[in-house]
Each structure stands twice: as C-alpha cells, then as structure tokens.
C-alpha cells in the first residue's frame, strides 16, 4: 500500500503542494518494449480491419429480378441496377421495391459485419453497430451517495482539525465539479440519442422526379414519379442512386451538427464529416444540383 503524502515511506515531503514541487508533473513508468510492440500490433490490426470493412459489400436482387442493389458500410447504396422489368412496375411500386431490396442488403451487410467482428470485440457487444454508424447505449451511471449537509460539515471539521497541509479550495471542490460534469455529459448523450432517433431527412432530385427519406441512417422511403420512367432503367437508376447518396450526405451533416452541440468547440465534428464528403455533394455546392433538404424530427 502506498503511504499517504507526507508520511514516512511515501518518498514525499510533508510541505508544499502535498509534497510535490510546484509545477512538477508526475511521471509514470515508461512502457516496456513488449508493451509498445503489443500496442503497435493492435493498431496495425485495427487499421487492417478498418480497410477490410471499407472494402466489404453485399449485393441483393429482388425476387422479380427488377432491382439489384449493392450496399456498403452503414448500409449505404453503392450501386443500383434496374432491369427492363422495373419500368412496368410504375413509380410507386418501383420505389418500394428499391427500398425493400436496399433494406435487405443492409441487413445482410450487418450480419456479415457482425460475423467478422465476433472475434475482435474486446469492448463487448455492439461493435458491428458502432462500425456501421450507430451509437453505443448510454452508460449507466452509479449515482454518488448524498450524505447531506451534516456529513459535509463533519468532514470539514475533521479536515480542519487534522494535522498536515491545508487542502486548496479548488481541490476540495474537485469531486463535486467532476460529478456535475459527468452528469451533464451523460444527460447530453441521452438527449442526443433521443434526437437522432427521431431525425429524418428528405432530399428531392433536381428534376423533382425522385425523393428519398433517410432516418436513423437508413433509407425509409423512395418516391418516383411515373414521368421519369420514360428515360429508361439505366437513367432512372442513376437518378435514384444520386438522390439516395445525397440524402445520406445531408443526413450525416444534420447528425454532425447535433453531435457538435454535445462536444462543443473542442472538436469540429461537422468539419470532419464535410472533409469525408466527395467534392460536389455538399448542399448548395456548385455542381451538386441539390439545393438542400427538407427534414426534421418526426
């Protein structure tokens, strides 16, 4: 057991800031070569796995062979093919078929990802969900016991009567400040998950023929006007795919703004998200063809 500050055997002097020189920073043991090697191996494994996830994809074809979709990480639509059988379905039925096929592909991708991560997760269940863009559950916080004012007064009296260096006021208040900050962050995280659960984004193609709604990171509805079907399967697929991808972009930006409110200015989440978006796809950006989205909390 380590001796208290200022007591024999502690290796510290009993004066000053708890025996430590002002401005002196405590130093811990340097990592051993074995520890460094393990850390480097874990980092290499994580990088290799991230690259593997980025290359993963699942392709699904609808039962009537009218729609074929390829989904990547997060269930994102990376390729859409429509056969000649798609056009006779009509716009409404075709939109539903694409939505259902994409949902199936996203679910199969999630199953594949869960199988790949089964032997890797040291942090418990849910790694596949996090890698696909989900948030881990709000951690349960053990509330600190409220001892009441009498206990606080008694502790203050005992501290005043005890021998040894006087505890600085800011240090004495530190536990309560840490508790208040932890409770604030947990409340903010819980509020964030609730807001993300009801957040939806709807984007319409430049010709107003296709609209796509994204909620909780997944496409929930695709509406296609019958008039656009005359352009043929390939052109319809291109318009739908572009609108789906734009909807995901704008949903990601909305989510980033909500997360930014929780993290504060210390970390620019929105800038990080924008840097990962391909050129020309930011809302209102020249060449995107999309002027912005409708959306909000359902």
Q: What is the pLDDT of residues 166-187, one digit of tens each?
A: 656 666 677 777 777 777 777 7
pLDDT tens by residue, 183-223:
777 777 777 677 767 788 999 999 999 999 999 889 999 99
Checking phi first, is residue 104 left (phi over 0); if not, alpha (psi -120 to 50) or beta?
A: alpha
Percent of the chain with pLDDT over 70: 62
Average pLDDT over residues 6-15: 42
Q: Quick one: 176 exposed, middle or buried, by C-beta within 10 A (0-12, 13-18, 19+)?
A: exposed
Residue 289: the pLDDT is 57
pLDDT tens by residue, 239-272:
999 999 999 989 888 888 877 777 777 777 777 7
Direct distance between the N- and C-terminal alpha carbons of the chain, in angstroms, rounded to an integer: 56
User: Whole-structure pTM over 0.85, yes or no?
Assistant: no
Residue 128 has pLDDT above 80, yes or no: no
Average pLDDT over residues 135-143: 51
Residue 68: the pLDDT is 98
Percent of the chain with pLDDT over 90: 30
Higher pLDDT, 216 or 150: 216
Judge whether 127 and 120 are in contact, CB under 8 Å.
Answer: yes
264 token code pair: 């504060």
Arithmetic mean of pLDDT over the chain: 74
Question: pLDDT tier at 162 (50, 70, 90 boundaries)?
Answer: low
Tokens 């409770």 identify what position?
Answer: 183
């Amino acid at each position: 057991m380590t001796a208290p500050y200022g007591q024999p055997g502690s290796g510290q002097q009993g004066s000053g800031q708890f025996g430590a020189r002002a401005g002196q920073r405590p130093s811990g043991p340097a990592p051993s070569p074995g520890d460094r090697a393990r850390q480097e191996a874990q980092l290499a494994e994580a990088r290799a796995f991230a690259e593997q996830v980025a290359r993963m994809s699942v392709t699904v074809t609808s039962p009537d062979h009218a729609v074929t979709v390829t989904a990547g990480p997060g269930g994102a639509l990376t390729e859409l093919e429509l056969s000649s059988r798609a056009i006779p379905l009509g716009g409404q039925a075709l939109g539903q078929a694409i939505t259902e096929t994409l949902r199936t592909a996203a679910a199969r991708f999630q199953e594949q990802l869960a199988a790949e991560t089964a032997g890797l997760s040291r942090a418990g269940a849910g790694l596949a969900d996090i890698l696909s863009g989900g948030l881990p559950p709000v951690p349960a916080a053990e509330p600190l016991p409220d001892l009441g004012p009498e206990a606080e007064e008694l502790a203050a009296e005992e501290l005043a009567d005890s021998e040894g260096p006087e505890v600085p006021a800011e240090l004495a208040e530190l536990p309560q400040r840490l508790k208040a900050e932890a409770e604030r962050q947990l409340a903010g995280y819980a509020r964030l998950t609730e807001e993300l659960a009801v957040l939806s984004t709807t984007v319409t193609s430049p010709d107003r023929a296709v609209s796509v709604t994204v909620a909780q990171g997944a496409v929930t509805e695709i509406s296609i006007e019958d008039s656009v079907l005359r352009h043929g399967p390939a052109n319809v697929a291109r318009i739908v795919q572009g609108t789906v991808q734009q909807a995901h972009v704008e949903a990601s930006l909305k989510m980033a703004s909500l997360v930014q409110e929780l993290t504060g200015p210390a970390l620019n989440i929105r800038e990080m998200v924008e840097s990962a978006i391909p050129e020309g796809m930011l809302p209102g950006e020249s060449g995107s063809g999309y002027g912005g989205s409708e959306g909000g909390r359902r």
